[in-house]
A = this chain, B = another copy of it.
């Protein structure tokens, strides 16, 4: 599961440029379970093109640099279906935020509070974005709606946990700061 399969998947829903693919993974319906930078998207697109799995048309634009609009080929669709049928790898998550929380009792209550608030704000923005996405996806295929629903459930649970329990962590840390100050 790499940038090539990602591009193939996105292109299976309609033609797009490398720039637009990047949008899909940063703001669109893939943003909650995948990421890729231009540095992986453009090379992937070139390799897919060499292999005949996509084809790209150059589009001249007035007052703008040329666009390359990519379209998936029948061979590309086949390759994607094959990748889709593989047993999925285990999810890979790396969360420096959770790592920080794990050692939260070593940090200042002030710093912890700020970090958690920032993350909560990020979750709320993401949830709002995904809710808009879900509205727009009312007529989208079942799989797309389901994956969005799963993402929303997870983000809401995370935000809810932070809202409901942060004060417990914070008050414990504050307490231990008081003890240290008294020493």
Contact = CB atoms under 8 A, between A and B. Distances in A.
Interface of A: 1, 5-6, 9, 12, 29-30, 32-35, 80-81, 84-85, 87-107, 111, 115, 119, 122, 141-144, 146-147, 149-151, 153-154, 156-158, 160-162, 165, 168-169, 172-173
A85 B96 CA distance: 11
Contacts of A32: 93, 98
A106 B91 contact: no
Nearest to A146: B169
Contacts of A88: 95-97, 99-100, 115, 119
B1 A102 contact: no
A142 B173 CA distance: 8
Contacts of A84: 99-100, 103, 106-107
A160 B160 CA distance: 15
Contact of A104 (B90, B103, B143): B143
16 contacts: A6-B99, A9-B103, A33-B98, A81-B106, A88-B95, A93-B93, A103-B143, A104-B143, A105-B143, A105-B144, A146-B165, A146-B169, A150-B158, A153-B161, A156-B157, A157-B157
Contact of A94 (B33, B101, B151): B33
A99 B12 CA distance: 13
Given A85-B111, A88-B115, A91-B94, 10 more contacts: A5-B99, A12-B103, A29-B102, A34-B93, A34-B94, A35-B94, A88-B119, A105-B142, A149-B165, A157-B158
Given A111-B85, A154-B157, A146 B104 contact: yes
